[in-house]
Structure 1
């Protein structure tokens, strides 16, 4: 006889990712912890990668929920759009931070990262952002991308 799975057990990778975010958030907010690390481009790049993965998950959930439950699909699509806006802001913040000293040293060295097939390592966030934006624009209109507020129906 098998016991029913708890909702958390059905999606172990998502649970692990959520636990990692909670741990990181607690470590930054803890008053007795080491001084918080300053936000750098690498930190925002990893956060952007996580957000774009969540965009893909929400997109798939909205697609599967829409046929049998159109209202739920619309709400998931709205969540997808709001998450895109957050992802876009993280991308913008990435470009406003000063470049990492390691990136500056790589530019000065004889190595030419721009010749790599995947492009310069610093610009992988841009490639990821453009790919996510391309998927988003195929499924939404410019009106959908405007900020909006939704109210809970409960």
Structure 2
């Protein structure tokens, strides 16, 4: 019989990602040099990537936890849905910020029909639509009633 992995040695990449988020949060705290700059599109794109990665992790954890521990699996599935809602709001905020490349609305418009060959700025939309397919497959419409999963901006 093997002993459980000590918490300090378990999941080092997840711990490193969490430490990175904590460090970034501290860096955004107002200091003597003035307030931090507001969020920009690249910042929200990276944050959206992080949220969708955690969303995938929660999806897999919910799937593997539900059979032996149904109540815990349901809680993880609920967290999966809430994290999707957070990612959806970050995606919406991304499209509300001005583009750094052009002042026109063409760069800030999410047009799914152009995604396979679209401009690099739309990678957040590609990621968001891919995560949307997963959430629609595994979540009831009632759970998502308040949030849209379409990229309609």
Q: CA RMSD in A?
A: 2.4
- Quote the residue 2:102 is aligned against: 104
Which is higher, the Rg of structure 1 or of structure 2? 1
Structure with the higher helix share, 1 or 2: 1
For 1:144, the equivalent position in structure 2 comes to: 143
In structure 2, the residue matched to 1:66 is 66
Q: 1:4 Cα deviation (Å)?
A: 6.3
For 1:9 and 1:83, how far apart are their aligned partners in 2?
26
**Contact 1:45/1:94 (CA < 8 Å) preserved in 2?**
yes
Residues 52 and 87, structure 1, Cα contact 8 Å, conserved in 2 = yes
Distance 1:34 1:9, change over 3 A: farther
Unaligned runs of 5+ in 2: 107-113, 147-153
**2:122 corresponding residue in structure 1:** 123
Quote the Cα distance in structure 2 between the aligned partners of 1:14 and 1:70.
24
Q: Which residue is equivalent to 2:55?
A: 55
1:21 and 1:82 mapped to 2: Cα distance?
19
Aligned length: 135
Q: 1:41 matched to which residue of 2?
A: 41
Deviations 1:44-79 (A, max 9, x none): 000000000000000000000000000000000000
> What CA deviation, in whole Å up to 9, does each residue of 1:69-115 have, x standing for no partner?
00000000000000000000000000000011xx239x9xxxxxxx9
| 1:6 Cα deviation after fit | 2.8
Between 11-20 and 28-37, report the one with greater CA deviation.
28-37
What TM-score, normalized by structure 2, do the two folds share?
Answer: 0.80
Separation in 1 of the partners of 2:41 and 2:60? 29
Structure 1 gap segments, 5+ residues each: 108-114, 148-154
**Kept in 2: contact 1:8–1:15 (CA 8 A):** no
| Residue 22 of structure 2: aligned partner | 22
Give 3-state SS (helix, strand or coil) of 2:102's partner: helix
**TM-score in terms of structure 1 length:** 0.79
